[in-house]
Amino acid sequence: MAREKQPEAADAEGTPERSYREQLDFLNPIAQPLASRKLTRKLYKCIRKAAKHKQIRRGVKEVQKFINKGEKGITVLAGDTLPIDVYCHIPIMCEDRSLPYAYVPSKSDLGAAAGSKRPTCVIMIKPHEEYQESYDECLEEVAALPLPL
């Protein structure tokens, strides 16, 4: 049985990652405002720093709970999550509480940035003094994105 699993692991490592442009083909119709390629990289970098300091909320249930409690931060949603009913209420909650949010193209990349092997559809980045400069830069750019009508 162990012999069967080894070739699978080798195949998984050998598969090339999809580029930003290829990931755009799998987006949901509600994935607005979508972060640009440059902003997506900045958000992933900020998520990695926040995960190192345990300053992220991961998953729909946890993010929803802390938005309701009034916690502040940048909400990052994955644009390729299906079905969209799973998390379509999160942007509305963010708008009601005037929290910035943005979509990135891939849930697997979002999970990887958070230091997990598991794909994640929603992450909230909390501010922290260790990476405040990176956080403020991301916050400024996400807030500047146009909201959907």
* pLDDT score at 49: 93
Please tell me the predicted confidence (pLDDT) of residue 12.
41
Cis peptide before 83 (omega within 30 of 0): yes
pLDDT of residue 30: 87
Q: What is the pLDDT of residue 91?
A: 93
DSSP three-state, residue 20: helix
pTM for this entry: 0.84
Residue 15 is predicted with a pLDDT of 41
Answer left, alpha or beta for residue 51, where phi above 0 means left and psi between -120 and 50 means alpha. Answer: alpha
For the chain, which ranges sit under pLDDT 70? 1-16, 149
pLDDT of residue 26: 82
Q: How much is the pLDDT for 54?
A: 93
